[in-house]
Amino acid sequence: MMNRQVLLVSRPKAEATLDNFKLVETPLAPLNDGELRVRNHYLSLDPYMRGRMSEAKSYAPPQSLNEVMIGGTVGEVIESRHAKFKIGDKVVGMLGWQEIGTSDGTGLYTVDASHVPLSAYLGAVGMPGVTAWYGLNRIIEPKAGETIAVSAASGAVGSVLGQLAKAAGCRAIGIAGGEDKCRYVVETLGFDACVDYKAGKLYDDLKAAAPEGIDGYFENVGGEVLNAVLPRMNAHGRMAMCGMIAGYDGEVVPMQGASLLVRSRLKMQGFIVAEHMEVWPQALKELGERVASKKLHFRESIADGLENAPEAFLGLLRGKNFGKQLVKLI
Amino acid sequence: MMNRQVLLVSRPKAEATLDNFKLVETPLAPLNDGELRVRNHYLSLDPYMRGRMSEAKSYAPPQSLNEVMIGGTVGEVIESRHAKFKIGDKVVGMLGWQEIGTSDGTGLYTVDASHVPLSAYLGAVGMPGVTAWYGLNRIIEPKAGETIAVSAASGAVGSVLGQLAKAAGCRAIGIAGGEDKCRYVVETLGFDACVDYKAGKLYDDLKAAAPEGIDGYFENVGGEVLNAVLPRMNAHGRMAMCGMIAGYDGEVVPMQGASLLVRSRLKMQGFIVAEHMEVWPQALKELGERVASKKLHFRESIADGLENAPEAFLGLLRGKNFGKQLVKLI
Q: What is the DSSP secondary-structure string of B116-153?
A: S-GGGGGTTTSHHHHHHHHIIIIII---TT-EEEEEST
Residue B278 to chain A, least CA–CA distance (Å): 17
Least confident interval from A117-131, A214-228, B281-295: A214-228
Whether A131 and A270 map to the same domain: the answer is yes
Q: Closest Cα partner for A45 from A297, A248, A321, A330? A: A321
Whether A99 and A146 map to the same domain: the answer is no
pLDDT of residue A244: 65
The pLDDT-based confidence of B1 (bands split at 50, 70, 90) is: confident
Amino acid at A227: N
The pLDDT-based confidence of A249 (bands split at 50, 70, 90) is: low
Residue B177 to chain A, least CA–CA distance (Å): 21
CA A113-A118-A123 angle, to 5 degrees, is: 130
Q: Mean pLDDT over residues A32-61, rounded?
A: 89
Q: How many residues does chain A have?
A: 330
The more confidently predicted of residues A101 and B257 is A101
Across chain A, mean pLDDT equals 94
Distance CA B24, CA B26 (A): 6
Report yes or no on B291 lying in a domain: no
Give the CATH number of the domain where residue B100 resides.
Answer: 3.90.180.10
Whether A182 and A222 map to the same domain: the answer is yes
Q: Mean pLDDT over residues B131-156, rounded?
A: 97
The tally of CA atoms less than 13 A away on the side-chain side of residue B67 is: 10
Whether B56 and B12 map to the same domain: the answer is yes
pLDDT of residue B199: 95
Residue B225 to chain A, least CA–CA distance (Å): 12
Whether A253 and A305 map to the same domain: the answer is no
The pLDDT-based confidence of B60 (bands split at 50, 70, 90) is: confident
- In chain A, residues with a C-beta closer than 8 Å to the C-beta of B274 are none
Residue B7's φ and ψ, nearest 5 degrees, are -105, 155
Amino acid at B241: M
Backbone region of residue A265 per phi and psi (left: phi > 0; alpha: psi in -120 to 50; beta: other values)? left
Whether A108 and A150 map to the same domain: the answer is no
Strand (E) positions, chain B?
A: 2-8, 21-27, 36-44, 67-68, 73-80, 90-93, 100-103, 109-110, 147-151, 171-176, 193-196, 214-219, 233-241, 267-270, 300-304, 324-328
Instruction: With a cut of 60, say whether residue A250 has pLDDT above it.
Output: no
Report yes or no on A283 lying in a domain: no
Report yes or no on A16 lying in a domain: yes
Q: Is B252 on the interface with A (CB under 8 A)?
A: yes
Across chain B, mean pLDDT equals 94
> What is the rounded (10 degree) CA torsion for B52, B57, B58, B59?
120
Amino acid at A113: A
Tell me which residue in B58, B248, B255 faces A255 most closely, judged by beta carbons: B255
pLDDT tens sequence across A253-295: 788 888 889 889 999 999 999 899 999 999 999 999 999 999 9
Chain A residue with Cα closest to B218 = A262
Tell me which residue in A241, A256, A260 faces B262 most closely, judged by beta carbons: A241
Q: Closest Cα partner for A276 from A71, A139, A168? A: A139
Angle between helices B156-167 and B280-292 (to 10 degrees): 80
Give the predicted TM-score (pTM) of the model.
Answer: 0.89
Give the CATH number of the domain where residue B234 resides.
Answer: 3.40.50.720
Report yes or no on B279 lying in a domain: no
For B43, B52, B195, the CA distances from B320, given in Å and listed in that order, are: 17, 21, 17
pLDDT tens sequence across B186-197: 999 999 999 999
Q: Mean pLDDT over residues A176-189, rounded?
A: 96
Distance CA B108, CA A301 (A): 64
The pLDDT-based confidence of B318 (bands split at 50, 70, 90) is: confident
Tell me which residue in A256, A265, A269 faces B270 most closely, judged by beta carbons: A265
pLDDT of residue B258: 85
Contact B270 A254 (CB under 8 A): no
Whether A209 and A319 map to the same domain: the answer is no
Q: Mean pLDDT over residues B50-78, rounded?
A: 89
Whether B185 and B222 map to the same domain: the answer is yes
DSSP A152: S
Distance CA A130, CA B25 (A): 65
The pLDDT-based confidence of B62 (bands split at 50, 70, 90) is: confident
Helix, strand, coil share of chain A (percent; to 5): 35, 25, 40
The more confidently predicted of residues A316 and B244 is A316
- In chain B, residues with a C-beta closer than 8 Å to the C-beta of A267 are 267-270
Distance CA B108, CA B121 (A): 12
pLDDT tens sequence across B100-129: 999 999 999 999 999 999 999 999 999 999
Residue A66 to chain B, least CA–CA distance (Å): 24
Report yes or no on A260 lying in a domain: yes
Backbone region of residue B253 per phi and psi (left: phi > 0; alpha: psi in -120 to 50; beta: other values)? beta
Whether A256 and A322 map to the same domain: the answer is no
Pairing of strands A267-270, A233-241: parallel
Whether A131 and A222 map to the same domain: the answer is yes
In a 3-state reduction of DSSP, which class is residue A186? Answer: helix
- Quote the percentage of chain A above a pLDDT of 90: 84
Instruction: With a cut of 60, say whether residue B247 has pLDDT above it.
Output: no
User: How many CB atoms neighbour CB A215 within 10 A?
Assistant: 23
Tell me which residue in B243, B248, B254 faces A254 most closely, judged by beta carbons: B254
Report yes or no on B280 lying in a domain: no
pLDDT of residue A230: 95
Distance CA B147, CA B269 (A): 18
Q: Closest Cα partner for B121 from B169, B80, B89, B150? A: B89
User: How many CB atoms neighbour CB B245 within 10 A?
Assistant: 24
Domain that holds residue A137: 127-274
Report yes or no on A215 lying in a domain: yes
- In chain B, residues with a C-beta closer than 8 Å to the C-beta of A262 are 59, 241-244, 270-272
- What are the beta bridge partners of residue B240? B218, B269
Q: Mean pLDDT over residues A97-118, rounded?
A: 95
Q: Mean pLDDT over residues B243-247, rounded?
A: 60
Report yes or no on A26 lying in a domain: yes
Chain B segment 20-49 residues within 8 A of A by beta carbon are none
- What are the beta bridge partners of residue B76? B39, B90
Residue A262 to chain B, least CA–CA distance (Å): 4
Tell me which residue in A58, A260, A263 faces B263 most closely, judged by beta carbons: A58
Q: How many domains does chain A have?
A: 2
H or E element that contains B287: helix B280-292
Whether A202 and A233 map to the same domain: the answer is yes
The pLDDT-based confidence of B57 (bands split at 50, 70, 90) is: low
Instruction: With a cut of 80, say whether residue A59 has pLDDT above it.
Output: no
Pairing of strands A171-176, A147-151: parallel
Q: Is B60 on the interface with A (CB under 8 A)?
A: no
Whether B242 and B143 map to the same domain: the answer is yes
- What are the beta bridge partners of residue A233? A214
